Amino acid sequence: MTQSFTGSLPALAGWSVEGSIPILAIVIVAGLGTATLFAVSLAAYRRRRRAQYRLISLAVGALLARSVVGAGTVLGVVPMPAHHLIAHGLDFLIAALVLYAVYAHAPGAIGDDTVSD
């Protein structure tokens, strides 16, 4: 017979985010802020048309997707194990995109065709 994690820790018994109005409100506000940042990153990419701006837009888009997953978890659409797998996968993707944008497009990087100002 297996015992659930919350069954072994009485302080966590019954603790859940599903259906929590305060947590949903926080996720919605965070999502709106992230959506605004995503729109700004898309505008920057459209203006500059450079690969590093596209990578940053993709990273901020992944951050927005993370907010959607969080809202889905609170609403009961995304189960908690899937939430953790998806959210931490998106964390890795965000970090990888930002680091690649910095590494591959830094001044003096291989293939860098920019002229310093």
- Please check whether residue 9 lies inside any domain of the structure: no
Each residue of 89-100: pLDDT tens digit? Answer: 999 999 999 999
Query: What is d(CA 45, CA 56) in angstroms, rounded to the nearest whole number?
Result: 9
Helix (H) or strand (E) holding 36: helix 21-48
- As for how many domains the chain has, the answer is 1
- DSSP letter for each residue of 88-115: HHHHHHHHHHHHHHHHHTSTT-TT----
- Please check whether residue 51 lies inside any domain of the structure: yes
- Please check whether residue 73 lies inside any domain of the structure: yes
- Please check whether residue 2 lies inside any domain of the structure: no
Residue 46: both structure tokens together: 């459209």
- Please check whether residue 100 lies inside any domain of the structure: yes
3-state SS class at 47: helix
Domain residues for 78? 21-105
* Mean confidence (pLDDT) of the chain: 85
- Please check whether residue 4 lies inside any domain of the structure: no
- Please check whether residue 1 lies inside any domain of the structure: no
Indicate yes or no: pTM above 0.85: no
